[in-house]
Amino acid sequence: MHFALTEEEELIRESARKLAGERLAPLAERLDRGEGRSEFLANLKLLAENGFMALNIQAGFGGTEAGTVAFALALEELAAACASTAVTTSVTNMVGEVIQAVGTSRQQADHLPKLADGTYPAGAFCLTESGAGSDPAGMKLRARRDGDDYVLDGEKIYITSGEYAGLFVVWGVTNPDAPKGKGISVFLVPADTPGVSVGKAEKKMGQTGSATNTIHFDGARVPAANLMGKENDGFRVAVGELAGGRIGVASVSLGIARAAMDAAKSYARERKQFGQAISEFQGLQWLIADRELDLHAARLLILDAAAKKDRGEPFAKEASMAKLFASEAAHRCTDAAIQIHGGAGYCRDFPVERYARDARITRIYEGTSEIQRLIIARETLRQLG
């Protein structure tokens, strides 16, 4: 088995690390305090200009064509510096991928270059509703055909990048009489569409630099040409794209976990108790060893899922395994980092308390840990025939 990265993948990882260190890390603390929005948007534009918003998009549409492994490597580096920026980057990439996968040639030409070059500051998925979270097939937003248009009525909640996304990918019910999950379609909806409005940002525990909003659709009229794929086939599209998004969330989780443990290891070598650095105590060394195992295992699971996706192989089970393990590992690593810092880790003078808050959501969005276990079990049993 060949584990070496390609020269291009190494270059993208190093480029992401450099940009993250120079531009993202210095802003992360201010974003966490609710400041620095203009600088945040400038960083999104810079990421687009450097190819990070379209890593798996064809060059003809302005994309990088670097693949999913490069996507995972880049997100780890970005998340180690700023999880809020990394999750925005991840979702924008996935918006581009769904347009490339099921969009018409016109839809691709109209929107992919704008995602790739930063004309759209970000892209957003509108899937979750108050009664349709882990069960997206239970959505209620109505998309009613009216002549050459569809009229959208309803709302979506917890939408990442809602207030500054230039483009929404929106799922709605086009056939309310169809069996559950069978009457759903997916549409491209520019943010400036009349009838689309953005609610206030949620006040979140972590990843506060990434806006999360309710999006309202009040008689929003979109051309029938904005339908992606076939009518009533949108739920299948959603399930497929969630699998790819889980590789992104796993990579973000890993970046947060790595940053937390890097901070903890540095602190352990500097902090002295009983006349020696606390890194000399066996109990702490074992804690570090266990978390190092978490980091390495998470990275291997992520790269395995990403490589399968790049090869065109089934990867849903592997993506769920990577997302589940990496997000749970991020919890263990950030908790350990606070413990190693002692009382200092509970104070905002050190970044580890922010890492812990940023990590918490990774076990929830893009499918909870419980949902990942259901997917892994289902796929495992299905493979037995």
Q: For residue 259, what is the domain's CATH number?
A: 1.20.140.10
Q: Are residues 317 and 215 in the same domain?
A: no
How far is CA 263 from each of CA 102, 257, 270, 343, rounded to the nearest angstrom? Answer: 42, 10, 11, 15
Domain extent for 76: 7-122
Say what percent of the chain tops pLDDT 70. 100
CATH of the domain at 159: 2.40.110.10
Instruction: Output the pTM of the full model.
Output: 0.96
User: Is 2 contained in some domain?
Assistant: no
Q: Are residues 220 and 284 in the same domain?
A: no
User: Is 181 contained in some domain?
Assistant: yes
Q: Are residues 182 and 243 in the same domain?
A: no
Q: What is the pLDDT of residue 224?
A: 98
Q: Are residues 214 and 272 in the same domain?
A: no
Last residue in a domain, options 197, 232, 267: 232
Taking Cα atoms as reference points, which of 135, 2, 150, 10 lies closest to residue 67? 10
Last residue in a domain, options 72, 91, 122: 122
Q: Region 245-253: what's the mean pLDDT? A: 97
For 83-117, the pLDDT digits (tens) are 999 999 999 999 999 999 999 999 999 999 999 99
Q: Are residues 13 and 109 in the same domain?
A: yes
- Assess whether pLDDT exceeds 90 at residue 212: yes
Q: Region 273-301: what's the mean pLDDT? A: 97
Q: Region 293-321: what's the mean pLDDT? A: 97
Q: Are residues 12 and 92 in the same domain?
A: yes
Instruction: Establish whether 366 is a catalytic residue.
Output: yes
For 128-174, the pLDDT digits (tens) are 999 998 999 999 999 999 999 999 999 999 999 999 999 999 999 99
Last residue in a domain, options 64, 90, 122: 122
For 167-186, the pLDDT digits (tens) are 999 999 999 999 998 999 99
φ, ψ for residue 163, nearest 5 deg: -85, -10
State the average pLDDT for the chain.
96
Number of domains in the chain: 3
Q: Are residues 105 and 76 in the same domain?
A: yes
Q: Are residues 368 and 289 in the same domain?
A: yes
Q: Are residues 34 and 115 in the same domain?
A: yes
- Assess whether pLDDT exceeds 90 at residue 331: yes
For CA atoms 229, 234, 238, 240, the dihedral sign is: negative
CATH of the domain at 105: 1.10.540.10
Q: Are residues 275 and 295 in the same domain?
A: yes
Which entry of 129, 366, 370, 379 is annotated as an active-site residue? 366
Q: Are residues 55 and 153 in the same domain?
A: no
Q: Are residues 374 and 255 in the same domain?
A: yes
Q: What is the pLDDT of residue 1?
A: 66
